[in-house]
Amino acid sequence: MLIQEDAVEIEVLLKQGMGVREIARRCGVSRNTVRRVRDEGAARRYRRERRESKLDAFVGYVRDRLAAAAPSWIPASVLLREIRGRGYTGSHSILRAYMATLRPARVEEPVVRFETPAGRQMQVDWAEFRVDGLRWYAFVVVLGFSRWIFGRFVEDQRFETLRDLHVAAFEAFGGVPREGLYDNMATVVLKRDADGQGRHRFHDGMLSLAQDFGFALRLCRPYRARTKGKVERGIRYVRGSFFVPLRAEYKQRGEPLTLDIVNARFAAWQAEVANQRIHGTTGERPCDRLASERAHLLPLPGVTVPPSVRELQATVAPAPRPATPLQRPLAAYDAFSAGVCP
């Protein structure tokens, strides 16, 4: 078989004006081979014989998963975990190279991150998700030092929901960070700079919660969501590596996705994937960094969160209805009028 190097040498000697017989003798090939290279000319392209790839058996699965997720995208790390569970033994780079042929490269704007010491800050935000006409919200908290993620999907963004999710996050952390960073949530801040620069008017319920648990309320700079970039990036990670693959999975099955299913899978994903991975910025696993960060968190106060006004109003018992019926039998009127002369 003619190898690429011999074909190139023949083309070069032909361009130099050497005869077919001399080229065949010098290169150790037949004259017909030299004539074939000459006749094919620039149209000739050497193609190496394609070797079988370890990914070949999983190409269909990868394409189907990406098609089900469209127009969103499933990261290679997620698909790698899935196909390894199906027997794939190849490398991450093979999968990434193949997926690069299916999607144009995306240039992301560089993000400047500010590191905070252990126990100092948590970043909090909501993310909206739409599923089959329903609107769900993901509450996501990221600890600034460890990058440990806590989250849960809910149906509303009311203060009572936000309050209870904070308590659940603190219990999951095993302590309370010294400050929480938020954007302009209506359930957190009522008016920015209400009493001067940096003196905001906060929601009474959030002030009470912060006082009970001992953390400070901080707001990110207006119109600069990147000042809480850790949770913003965490939300993109949740959306791309958890929610989009899960929604695609249930779409392929033809089964409805419920809030209970999402939260059960979300809790498992946080414990087994998100907080176990090697974080790209810190180079460590969030679960390992949380172990050291817990020593710097404030202890849980052990207080019972008081109910809100809305909850108190919802528990007020309705006024009792009169036990005596409004309509009485005729015999009752006869007894009442007995002895009265007409």
Taking only the tens of pLDDT, the chain with its 342 residues reads 566 667 777 887 887 788 889 888 888 888 888 888 888 764 555 555 567 889 999 999 999 999 898 888 899 999 999 999 999 999 998 998 889 888 755 555 554 556 789 999 999 999 999 988 899 999 999 999 999 999 999 999 999 999 999 999 999 999 999 999 998 888 998 888 776 776 788 898 999 999 899 999 999 876 555 567 899 999 999 999 999 999 999 999 999 999 999 999 999 999 999 999 999 888 999 999 999 999 999 999 987 777 776 777 776 656 666 655 556 666 665 665 665 555
CA distance 116 to 176: 15
Quote the pTM value. Answer: 0.65
Strand, helix or coil at 29?
coil
CA-based radius of gyration for the chain: 34
| Domain boundaries, given as residue ranges, for the chain | 4-43, 56-100, 121-296
- Selection from 17, 11, 20 nearest residue 45 by Cα: 11
CA distance 122 to 228: 9
For residues 144 and 116, the answer to whether their CB atoms sit within 8 Å is yes
Torsion sign (Cα): 118, 124, 130, 136: positive
Structure tokens at 27: 């290169």
CA distance 292 to 251: 40
CA distance 6 to 104: 36
Say what the pLDDT of residue 321 is: 64
Could you say which of 3.30.420.10, 3.20.20.100, 3.40.605.10, 1.50.40.10 is the CATH number of the domain covering 121-296? 3.30.420.10
Say what the pLDDT of residue 42 is: 47
Say what the pLDDT of residue 281 is: 87
CA distance 240 to 50: 33
